[in-house]
Amino acid sequence: MRRAQGFALAALVLGCLAGCGGSRGSFAAGANAVWSTIPVRKDFAYEQAWDALFERLVTDFEPWFVSRADGYFRSDWTHTWSGRYQADYRVRLSVKFAPDRKQLRLRCEAQKWEPKQKIWVPGTDPELLRTIKTDVMGIVGTTTR
């Protein structure tokens, strides 16, 4: 009995560890990366919102293309957003302010390496999008849509 309980506990712990931190488990193959919208707080000037957002994004994502004037940020592909290196899985993030600067749009793209075909399979990572969206809402946003 104790042995079965020990195995059950070990399986539960391993399952939790495997599901934490974002990984290929949150990969949605073939899914188009859609834009998610966050309204920007009315008390935030664009420059203030951009600076706070940029500071948060560069913490985890290496910028690939940045245009403050256009309100656009795209990261390079990263293999480590989950906290550990995954050679066969990568993600990148795009962020765009609306022209009126009252909304912010986020998009997460993911790719998984398919060794048999030797190609990167496109998709998205809903867990990454939820994580970043929550972080960004806490910085510049009000509610999600």
134 falls within a domain: yes
Task: Decide if 108 is inside a domain.
Answer: yes
**Residue 23 pLDDT class (50, 70, 90 cuts):** very low
Measure the CA–CA gap between 90 and 135, rounded to whole angstroms. Answer: 20
Q: E strand or H helix at 79, and its extent? A: none
Token couple for 125: 């990572």
The total domain count for the chain is 1
What is the arithmetic mean of pLDDT over 13-23?
Answer: 34
In a domain? residue 145:
no
Range of the structural domain that residue 27 is part of: 2-140
3-state SS class at 14: helix
pLDDT by residue (tens digit) across 77-130?
A: 999 877 889 999 999 999 999 999 999 999 999 999 999 999 999 999 999 899
Which residue carries 């309100």 as its tokens? Answer: 71
Q: d(Cα 96, Cα 116) in Å, to the nearest integer?
A: 36
- pTM, two decimals, is 0.76
Q: Is residue 80 part of a domain?
A: yes
**Does residue 94 lie within any of the structural domains?**
yes
Q: Is the pLDDT of residue 57 over 80?
A: yes
* CATH number of the CATH domain containing 85: 3.30.530.50
Closest CA to 95 of 35, 49, 138, 141: 35
pLDDT, residue 92, reads 95
User: Is 48 within a domain?
Assistant: yes
Find tokens 């020990």 and name the residue.
Answer: 6
What 8-state DSSP symbol labels residue 77? Answer: P
